[in-house]
Structure 1
């Protein structure tokens, strides 16, 4: 995959603007306390579908590692293993949605045109079907869109068939193919948080398109989007970061990897033909996604939470739109410092035994989110009841014979603190800022003289925290799931207040039709 002239156009200004040789002035460091609540939530939601869907504008990138021997899935119309750049799914049902025969134009949970064609492979490919193995050279992995793309042109077999005219499809042409791969070695990846594979102008693509690719315009169309995006991200990994990363993790209809080279990183476990319908039911797919609402599971991905880059830690790099969603400021001067820190993150050696700030954040959320919900529920309706709940929340931090609100707040805020944690780092600053705000509200609320005053303090606290756990569905039936606005489906109601149901709402209310604009 050669770097195109178009690729050089966007890459060269970054090479000049962010080179450490261009200036001797120290670059300003990130400040995790500025938008600490948003960074705190990025830590909590990382690699969890529920939080990533509802706080869909990811503004942070993390270094992720996938261990050797991890199983991944790929759906396609080709029975031949893939060697070039392409997509991997973490869940079988996600990949099955793309395992269509060549004549099918059915769109899967993400638009069928999302997946690019593979490179024109020059290495020997292997074909696996019904336990037989046949060798075949220079066979391209065709995908659902069957169009020319930046990854390669149509195969000689396709050109020959076109010259002969239309024929009845063979048995194999009526089948899709479900590929299972295993990683040959540990893979190092860049993880974009939020619903970062959603083809929306709401801000889901800001980190990829504005910050990394320096794309000045994008119309939201899947055909233009992911083919070019994957091509340029992999060129960036190769040419700027010296192949220090193997690909990129994103999320929309499940977590997925843009892997820059299948040949370098994967062994084939098996390739199976699927029925002509392919993909299974949408309900089965939705159920598979729901199993990952609280995490990807199985130690399949490890994230470095001690050192990451968030636009939210750079006040001149982010703004909030009319819905309160964070967006990247499309201004080269303001993003130069961010790009410098991204380069540092990716090209440096990974820190040994980093602090897992997500574990700390999760303990804070699980301790307090149900208490806050209870205080604001109909079960608490008097000043006495509210004071009782607030005192129970702060009781472990109170010296009954020497009341001191400052010390109580500090004890509460540092309950889960790691000894020796560096307070100058982005995650430490964000966690400490949120913890102090949380504990201060609890202590102040407990001292409020009226129910109205106390309840207003807790309401303000809940709005500030904005934890997605506050919006989780309760007690769904066995045949129901919590319905979320997973692109391209979902309603405004799904976003504001997810409800139990039979599956995704499939566009009722048109949440993703209300497209935001990329600010120039």
Structure 2
């Protein structure tokens, strides 16, 4: 009992600190904040406990895994996660010749991706073919988050790959895709990592294969794409004047491929972005199975705290990362391999754990912000606002009330409610044999859930007091709560708040212009995405 009371007090202190500062270090608080009598202490010697701002980055790195919108919001990824591409997965490769690919090259998970890259950007050239393959044995991969296949080196999408390669900063961008991919494959294999390739994102997800003749993949089809030498030939594509073997894209001075921005957005582009739309959120790219036992994120590493990361996560760079941080990253990756060499269907899916918090709490936070904003603006009355907000938070408030509160309806221990609420989302996983990488994730989720529960429970308590007219309510409290929830939503930076607000019509796409459709740089959504028709997209380009 004493331990439980102490835990409540400690979490209450954490709540106070979170309310007053979103950048504090709550390590000394939450390492002792479990209220279960058999809860072991966190293994602090095996990971560096993150502060609140680092926890939001780690939380989102987990929640955004293999999801398009979240990775577009934080295009310069900082996280590497081992996993598998399971047997039966169908893959596609576009090329300008009939011969099957050799050595290092890439597969797409969607045929539209390969078709557009082969036959649409710059139009067909050479002897275009689309090859279909199937995975026959599990492929061991490492997923690199962010827009890591977007060749926007100036923005930073290549930072984590360049940083890992142990090269001087001014040469990170000098590699072509094939040279960079080859060096990554060799680095992992030379350090004992059992690896077949990397999964990365631009407009959809791709699999960079270290060896396209890998026996774990079988080629099952090789289709030629019909082309014409003349313009306007029905059903055929106009052949480009490029010579066989030349790239169909222009290149920048670093050798990276660029798209001609004046090219008309056509139905092939529309098919491509439409195929990618299903990975915006929900299950994401479900044809890849990640193993969170080995999730390695630069956020929260001791060496990363020397980098002055700005508040805007889209501007996070590794340009000032130290050699010590590079070695720390490498060491953790090689250690992660040891935890993930065998497939385990009973491991914890930490992305689902974050989903439980996001999809329950995000709509509530949005309504609290909107309701309190209307109250401040004078467009809603105190009674109507408190009644509505009390209604949407009532189940949570009642769910986390204790015995003393049930016995006395005038007593509401908000701090205890926050503790019970936060515990729901991450605390009990210590019962499993989690790795140090997972412990770091659990710690981050606990801090984020504490901050979210704090704002919601405070709002619930205020609304209940206004409606029941029990207890003193400060007139300034609604304004403070509005500021708190607004700041929290900004700090959380959840993709939920910028995803399309409704299902698009059949002739529309929830449009997110990521490279190469976004031009030189990926689009970073700050406002909700819109459903767009192909006519809308053509007009937006002035075509």
TM over 0.5: yes
* Aligned CA distance change for structure 1 residues 294 and 358 (closer, same or farther; 3 Å): same
The answer for the alignment partner of 1:248 in structure 2 is 198
The answer for the alignment partner of 2:278 in structure 1 is 291
Q: Aligned partners of 2:515, 2:118: CA distance in 1, in Å? A: 20
The answer for the alignment partner of 1:416 in structure 2 is 425
* Aligned CA distance change for structure 1 residues 215 and 198 (closer, same or farther; 3 Å): farther
2:322 is aligned with 1:331: yes
In structure 2, which of residues 431, 444, 448 is the aligned counterpart of residue 434 of structure 1? 448
Q: Greater CA deviation, 317-326 or 249-258?
A: 317-326
Q: Greater CA deviation, 344-353 or 246-255?
A: 344-353
The answer for the alignment partner of 1:458 in structure 2 is 485
> How far has the Cα of 1:197 moved from its partner?
0.9
Asked whether the equivalents of residues 76 and 146 of structure 2 are also in contact (C-alpha less than 8 Å), the reply is yes
1:230 is paired with a residue whose SS is helix
> How far has the Cα of 1:290 moved from its partner?
0.8
In structure 2, which of residues 169, 172, 179 is the aligned counterpart of residue 228 of structure 1? 179
The answer for the alignment partner of 1:18 in structure 2 is none
2:276 is paired with a residue whose SS is helix
Q: Aligned partners of 1:61, 1:260: CA distance in 2, in Å? A: 17
2:211 is aligned with 1:195: no
The structure that is helix-richer by fraction is 2
Q: Aligned partners of 2:382, 2:491: CA distance in 1, in Å? A: 23
Q: Aligned partners of 1:180, 1:349: CA distance in 2, in Å? A: 29
* Aligned CA distance change for structure 1 residues 298 and 339 (closer, same or farther; 3 Å): closer
Q: Aligned partners of 1:489, 1:281: CA distance in 2, in Å? A: 12
> How far has the Cα of 1:183 moved from its partner?
1.3
Asked whether the equivalents of residues 49 and 295 of structure 1 are also in contact (C-alpha less than 8 Å), the reply is no
Asked whether the equivalents of residues 79 and 144 of structure 2 are also in contact (C-alpha less than 8 Å), the reply is yes
Q: Aligned partners of 2:285, 2:361: CA distance in 1, in Å? A: 26
Q: Aligned partners of 1:280, 1:250: CA distance in 2, in Å? A: 24
* Aligned CA distance change for structure 1 residues 178 and 215 (closer, same or farther; 3 Å): farther
Asked whether the equivalents of residues 162 and 172 of structure 2 are also in contact (C-alpha less than 8 Å), the reply is no
> Pairwise mapping of residues 37-56 of structure 1 onto structure 2 (< 5 A)?
37-56=56-75
Query: What is the RMSD computed on CA atoms of the aligned residues?
Result: 3.1
The answer for the alignment partner of 1:501 in structure 2 is 532
* Aligned CA distance change for structure 1 residues 211 and 493 (closer, same or farther; 3 Å): closer
> How far has the Cα of 1:227 moved from its partner?
2.0
2:443 is paired with a residue whose SS is helix
2:390 is aligned with 1:376: no
Asked whether the equivalents of residues 369 and 469 of structure 1 are also in contact (C-alpha less than 8 Å), the reply is yes
Asked whether the equivalents of residues 413 and 439 of structure 1 are also in contact (C-alpha less than 8 Å), the reply is yes
2:84 is paired with a residue whose SS is strand
Q: Aligned partners of 2:481, 2:339: CA distance in 1, in Å? A: 48
The answer for the alignment partner of 2:161 in structure 1 is 208
Unaligned 5+ runs, structure 1: 1-25, 109-143, 145-172, 510-520
> How far has the Cα of 1:367 moved from its partner?
0.3
Asked whether the equivalents of residues 72 and 522 of structure 2 are also in contact (C-alpha less than 8 Å), the reply is no
Length-normalised TM-score, structure 2: 0.69
The answer for the alignment partner of 2:291 in structure 1 is 304
In structure 2, which of residues 110, 117, 128 is the aligned counterpart of residue 98 of structure 1? 117
The answer for the alignment partner of 2:213 in structure 1 is 263
Aligned length in residues: 415
Q: Aligned partners of 1:403, 1:230: CA distance in 2, in Å? A: 57
The answer for the alignment partner of 1:139 in structure 2 is none
> How far has the Cα of 1:255 moved from its partner?
0.3
2:337 is aligned with 1:346: yes
The answer for the alignment partner of 1:365 in structure 2 is 358
Asked whether the equivalents of residues 204 and 276 of structure 2 are also in contact (C-alpha less than 8 Å), the reply is yes
Asked whether the equivalents of residues 39 and 430 of structure 1 are also in contact (C-alpha less than 8 Å), the reply is yes
The answer for the alignment partner of 2:459 in structure 1 is 445
Q: Aligned partners of 2:522, 2:108: CA distance in 1, in Å? A: 27
Q: Aligned partners of 1:383, 1:212: CA distance in 2, in Å? A: 58
Q: Aligned partners of 2:324, 2:459: CA distance in 1, in Å? A: 43
Q: Deviations over 1:148-173 (max 9, x none)?
A: xxxxxxxxxxxxxxxxxxxxxxxxx5
> How far has the Cα of 1:29 moved from its partner?
2.8
Unaligned 5+ runs, structure 2: 1-43, 228-236, 239-265, 463-473
2:309 is aligned with 1:320: yes
2:70 is aligned with 1:70: no
Q: Aligned partners of 2:190, 2:500: CA distance in 1, in Å? A: 45
* Aligned CA distance change for structure 1 residues 492 and 205 (closer, same or farther; 3 Å): closer
2:271 is paired with a residue whose SS is helix
The answer for the alignment partner of 2:261 in structure 1 is none
Length-normalised TM-score, structure 1: 0.72
> How far has the Cα of 1:461 moved from its partner?
1.7
Q: Aligned partners of 2:524, 2:435: CA distance in 1, in Å? A: 37
Q: Greater CA deviation, 272-281 or 35-44?
A: 272-281
